[in-house]
């Protein structure tokens, strides 16, 4: 399941997904969610993702080459 609600409604959405039997949740809401053991949750920080995209744009426009750092598959260093 995917949660993309305002923070104040995210836990309610997560609870509904869990009750429906969803075992994996991608959370775009700007809050930390409490889920039972066995439910996988992936928090996506949209601000961070936009910052990464901005970096890629700057390096592309400046002729620099982005080089993976190895920490994460989408991390780069110049």
> Would you list the domain boundaries of the chain?
1-44, 45-78
What is the C-alpha separation between 56 and 52, in angstroms, rounded?
Answer: 6
Please give the structure tokens belonging to residue 11. 């836990």
Query: What is the pLDDT, as a whole number, of residue 68?
Result: 60
Please give the structure tokens belonging to residue 62. 């400046």
pTM of the complete model beyond 0.85: no
What is the C-alpha separation between 48 and 63, in angstroms, rounded?
Answer: 23
- Residue 48: strand, helix, or coil: helix
Residue ranges of the chain whose pLDDT lies below 70: 64-78
Query: What is the pLDDT, as a whole number, of residue 72?
Result: 53
């Amino acid at each position: 399941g995917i949660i993309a609600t305002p923070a104040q409604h995210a836990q309610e959405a997560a609870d509904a997904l869990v009750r429906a039997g969803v075992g994996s949740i991608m959370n775009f809401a700007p809050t930390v969610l409490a889920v039972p053991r066995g439910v996988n949750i992936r928090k996506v920080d949209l601000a961070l993702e936009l910052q990464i995209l901005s970096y890629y744009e700057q390096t592309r426009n400046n002729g620099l080459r982005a080089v993976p750092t190895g920490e994460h598959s989408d991390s780069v260093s110049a």
